């Protein structure tokens, strides 16, 4: 078998053949492990296995990996429907009398367009996670299962005006994106043995962090009555209303610490706290950052985001789905 | 990988260094193949590997220490950049209450925390202090300073995401995760300052476009960050390091 002629021929009809191998480079470990035992007789079987992996479906995933990915997928649905509802209120039977976000000065740099971009990313994440999970993915949840008032299905939670008040909308948005960043950070180590899935999760994680930065930027702008481009240079103030684009300490409990469904747990410690410290943590890898770097507690906490455990993430998210739903249970 | 994004500013954009032949090389370098097979594969490819393994390069190594030293190197470069920013006319001209000044100060604090932590965590295993070469950067020019900051932050995110797979144990994965999201927050804000709503854009994220029909997930794209392998990253950042400090990441497999 002329292996290289084969690759060359395939490249003529599939220019991405090398990319396929690169993305799934583990298949080459079969060769690496066998190394010296490679014989001409063994080549056909090895090559056939290699191609089935390069082009085939993922094999069944371990249960803990499935759990992490399905929690991530559930969070993505929660976020997707949140932004999609806000963008398309008539479709969801909601009034449009109040302006949720501005559409000026130009479409591309408007507040609304930023939300469109975030909504689209979340839909892409749903697509990606469903593909990774295959038949192990949860059934696609119905929009009706979600309650963005934070009322666990009553629609009368503390954020009941979420789709009529711009301020409330962004409070909830910030809470979701910040929870998402911590959730992916908490879930990533479970994916350690599957390098491709790990990288995929990290590539979602950093996009969620970009979203968080942007939503926080918008909130700073709102606090200064600045929409669109000028918002990017609004000054930070109270963490409750004008947060930085990064998390300072525990951000005073986030966007709505005083409501009955409080945002405080989003920035607090998970369980166990040694593995999932609160966002105001200043000790990393056994080193006290303030001492080592001569910076204050605020800067030291901002420099590192903290992970959150799945159970705490579920407890936070449960407030936003009907109590009868199995999502986040 | 048909597209090699690098969100560099127009001046000093490192993207042009990411050439097509490199793709083939990195494919080979990271294929994980045994020595015998690597030899075979090389025989079937163009011989365009011109990597200089002389003393001009700092070898970050491999495994957990390699990834940590690779991260340490990038953080050194970032921190050196923000330190230099403070000597430029642009930063010096910012008022005490300037929001841009507050942001740049925060970024410098954060990067200092990252650098010091890696140095302390690595101890005697740390690579040497790198000598940056920022001679191509005009630190007096706002758009160049912010554009280069954007490039460094975006590169950091793509680098962390693309290097996590080279950890041999999960020990330091959480630490890398704690840092990369902060880099992403930095990147998004700098991008929003330069061009509002560019916090995610096609150069750094494989943007998803919904389909008119077919339901959720029927559209094109993935919404994923475009992570980059170490070989591509160092080809972009080595221009900012002096001879003797340029990075060699060839041991990651």
Identify the CATH number of the domain in which residue B123 sits. Answer: 1.20.1260.10
ipTM: 0.83
- Judge whether residue A165 has pLDDT over 70: yes
B/e letters for B85-94, b = 16+ CB within 10 Å, e = fewer, are: beebebbeeb
How far does B57 lie from chain A, in Å, by closest CA? 26
In total, the C-beta contacts within 8 angstroms joining chain A to chain B are 283
**Alpha-carbon torsion A138, A142, A143, A147, what sign?**
negative
How far does A253 lie from chain B, in Å, by closest CA? 19
Instruction: Give the contacts of A322 (CB within 8 A, at least 6 positions apart).
Output: A144, A145, A146, A147, A152, A153
**Each residue's pLDDT tens digit, A63-106:** 999 999 999 999 999 999 999 999 999 999 999 999 999 888 88
How far does A271 lie from chain B, in Å, by closest CA? 15
**Each residue's pLDDT tens digit, A216-262:** 999 999 999 999 999 999 999 999 999 999 999 999 999 999 999 99
Question: Hey, of B173, B222, B228, B252, which one would you mutate to test binding to chain A, going by the most A CBs within 10 A of its CB?
Answer: B222
Cβ-contact A279, A306 below 8 angstroms: yes
Cβ-contact B91, B85 below 8 angstroms: yes
Average pLDDT over residues A286-305: 98
pLDDT of residue A5: 56
pLDDT of residue A13: 53
pLDDT of residue B149: 98
CATH superfamily entry for domain A63-318: Ferritin, core subunit, four-helix bundle (1.20.1260.10)
- Intra-chain end-to-end CA distance of chain A, in Å: 53
Cβ-contact A281, A306 below 8 angstroms: yes
pLDDT of residue A104: 82
pLDDT of residue B11: 36
In a domain, B213, yes or no: yes
In a domain, B123, yes or no: yes
Cβ-contact B246, B132 below 8 angstroms: no
**Each residue's pLDDT tens digit, A178-191:** 999 999 999 999 99
- Judge whether residue A22 has pLDDT over 60: no
Helix (H, G, I), strand (E, B) or coil at B166: helix
**pLDDT band for position A300 (50/70/90)?**
very high
> Is the CB of A303 less than 8 angstroms away from the CB of B110?
yes
Question: Hey, of A303, A306, A309, which one would you mutate to test binding to chain B, going by the most B CBs within 10 A of its CB?
Answer: A303
In a domain, B119, yes or no: yes
pLDDT of residue B68: 98
B/e letters for B101-128, b = 16+ CB within 10 Å, e = fewer, are: bbbbbbbbbbbbbbbbbbbbbeeeebbe
pLDDT of residue A292: 98
pLDDT of residue A19: 52
pLDDT of residue A105: 83
In a domain, B161, yes or no: yes
In chain A, helix, strand, coil percent, each to 5?
Answer: 55, 0, 40
- Judge whether residue A59 has pLDDT over 70: no
**Each residue's pLDDT tens digit, A94-146:** 999 999 998 888 889 999 999 999 999 999 999 999 999 999 999 999 999 99
Residue numbers of chain B with a pLDDT score lower than 70:
1-54
Helix (H, G, I), strand (E, B) or coil at B113: helix
> Is the CB of B37 less than 8 angstroms away from the CB of A32?
yes
pLDDT of residue B169: 96
pLDDT of residue B234: 97
The residue extents of the domains of chain A are 3-55, 63-318
Q: Which domain holds residue B130?
A: 61-248
Proportion of chain A above pLDDT 90, given as a percent: 79
* Total structural domains within chain B: 1
pLDDT of residue B28: 34
> Is the CB of B106 less than 8 angstroms away from the CB of A244?
yes
């Amino acid at each position: 078998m002329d292996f290289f002629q084969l690759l060359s021929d395939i490249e003529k009809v599939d220019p991405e053949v090398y990319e396929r191998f690169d993305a799934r480079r583990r298949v080459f470990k079969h060769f690496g492990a066998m190394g010296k035992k490679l014989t001409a007789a063994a080549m056909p079987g090895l090559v056939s296995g290699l191609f089935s992996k390069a082009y085939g479906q993922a094999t069944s995933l371990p249960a803990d990996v499935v759990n992490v990915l399905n929690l991530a997928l559930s969070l993505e649905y929660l976020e997707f429907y949140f932004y999609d509802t806000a963008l398309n209120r008539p479709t969801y039977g909601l009034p449009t009398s109040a302006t949720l976000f501005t559409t000026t000065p130009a479409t591309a740099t408007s507040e609304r367009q930023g939300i469109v971009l975030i909504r689209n990313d979340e839909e892409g994440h749903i697509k990606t996670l469903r593909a990774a999970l295959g038949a192990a993915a949860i059934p696609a949840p119905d929009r009706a299962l979600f309650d963005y008032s934070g009322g666990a299905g009553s629609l009368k939670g503390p954020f009941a005006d979420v789709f009529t008040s711009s301020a409330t909308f962004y409070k909830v948005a910030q809470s979701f994106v910040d929870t998402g960043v911590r959730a992916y950070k908490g879930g990533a180590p479970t994916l350690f043995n599957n390098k491709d899935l790990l990288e995929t999760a990290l590539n979602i994680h950093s996009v969620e962090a970009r979203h968080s930065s942007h939503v926080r930027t918008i909130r700073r702008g709102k606090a200064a009555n600045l929409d669109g481009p000028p918002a990017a240079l609004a000054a930070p103030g109270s963490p409750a209303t004008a947060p930085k684009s990064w998390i300072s300490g525990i951000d005073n409990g986030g966007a709505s610490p005083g409501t009955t469904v409080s945002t405080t747990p989003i920035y607090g410690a998970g369980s166990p706290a040694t593995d999932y410290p609160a966002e105001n943590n200043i000790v990393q890898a056994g080193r006290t950052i303030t001492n080592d770097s001569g910076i204050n507690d605020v800067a030291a906490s901002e420099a590192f985001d903290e992970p959150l455990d799945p159970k705490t993430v579920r407890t936070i998210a449960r407030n936003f789905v009907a109590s009868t739903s199995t999502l986040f249970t | 990988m048909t597209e090699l994004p690098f969100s560099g500013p127009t001046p000093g954009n490192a993207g042009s260094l990411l050439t097509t032949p490199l793709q083939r090389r990195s494919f080979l370098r990271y294929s994980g193949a045994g020595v015998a097979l690597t030899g075979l594969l090389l025989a079937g490819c163009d011989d365009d590997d011109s990597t200089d393994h002389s003393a001009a390069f700092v070898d970050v190594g491999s495994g957990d220490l390699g990834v940590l030293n690779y991260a340490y190197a990038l953080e050194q470069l970032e921190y050196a950049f923000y330190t230099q920013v403070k000597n430029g006319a642009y930063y010096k001209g910012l008022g005490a209450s300037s929001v841009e000044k507050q942001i740049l100060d925060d970024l410098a604090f954060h990067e200092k925390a990252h650098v010091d932590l890696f140095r302390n965590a690595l101890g005697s295993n740390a690579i040497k202090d790198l000598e940056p070469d920022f001679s191509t950067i005009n630190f007096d020019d706002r758009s160049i300073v912010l554009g280069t900051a954007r490039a460094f932050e975006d590169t950091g995110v793509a680098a962390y995401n693309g290097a996590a797979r080279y950890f041999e144990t999960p020990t330091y994965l959480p630490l890398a995760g704690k840092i990369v999201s902060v880099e992403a927050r930095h990147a998004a804000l700098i991008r929003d300052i330069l061009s509002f709503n560019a916090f995610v854009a096609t150069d750094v994220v494989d943007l998803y476009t919904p389909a008119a029909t077919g339901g959720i997930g029927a559209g094109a794209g993935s919404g994923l960050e475009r992570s980059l392998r170490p070989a591509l990253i160092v080809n972009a950042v080595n221009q900012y390091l002096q001879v003797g400090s340029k990075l060699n990441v060839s041991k990651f497999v």
